[in-house]
Structure 1
Amino acid sequence: MGDERALTEPVLRARPEPSQLTKDARWMVLIVLLALVVQQFGARWSTGFSRDGVETTITSHPWVGWTLLTVGFAVVGFVVAIARRGAPRFDEHTVMGLALAGVIGTTVLVWLLIPVEMTWVQWAVEHGNPHPFVIGNVDLVSRYADYTG
């Protein structure tokens, strides 16, 4: 019938199962990408109002600082997780969990700042401060009633 030894060799070798750190890292990448998308939607808002012949439009757009902070939490968490692999305390799973908490916390902070920033900018402009302190992602455009340009 043939050589029996030829039938015992597997045609495809089984791949080794990825480590838990690799699985955690894949989930971290997915969650960071999802968090960045959610932040992009959370940082976009606009409002407008008129007062004393001045029409003011306030527009917010995504700020690069939030993106860098989110990616920074993930990268630092991953690097520290590799360094802490197998440690008795604060092992790689704990560190990846803390990094994930930083990523999600940053996303929640972006969403919590929406009403605060909107209220602050509108209040400041209405009370005579044409350029209030903002995080870096707000544009104020004022149109005057007597402006002909």
Structure 2
Amino acid sequence: MFEDNDISGVDHKKRSGFQKLIADIEQSLIDMVAAPEQPRLERNCSEGAQIIGTSQRNGVLLAFVKDNEIDATAAAGRLVAGFMSSMAHHEIVVRGECQSRAQRQRSEQGRAPKGVRPIDYATNDHVIQDEAIAWRSRRTIWHSLEALRSGR
């Protein structure tokens, strides 16, 4: 079993479990790969191309709990796998764009960003004056120290 839980595909971190899977396929130690769904197996387009190509060269069947099996040795299987890989990547990109747009919109409206409560904002989007003053003071001191360090 190869496991890469909680490793995002967005930032292209090395997935040791995925790399070991590829190596074992190339050494003909595996003839079928089973995963919950294709996007969980490949986290980005380059991994998609890698698993499809490696599976094709070594006659490996890709099986998914939530989807159909994909025979990477057949042209139709590679077409479906490539399409599904592109769709998964598209969903990641669209979700990121939506989240960025929502954060930008909240900022333009003067509202606090989503997530962990930022310093100097209450959860109801009101500014907490004591924290805001303290934060500005810290920032001013930090910039002064940076200026001294750099000789400006």
TM range (shorter): 0.3 to 0.5
More strand by share: 1
Q: Which has the higher contact order (CA 8 A, sep 6+)?
A: 1
Using structure 2 for the length normalisation, give the TM-score.
0.34
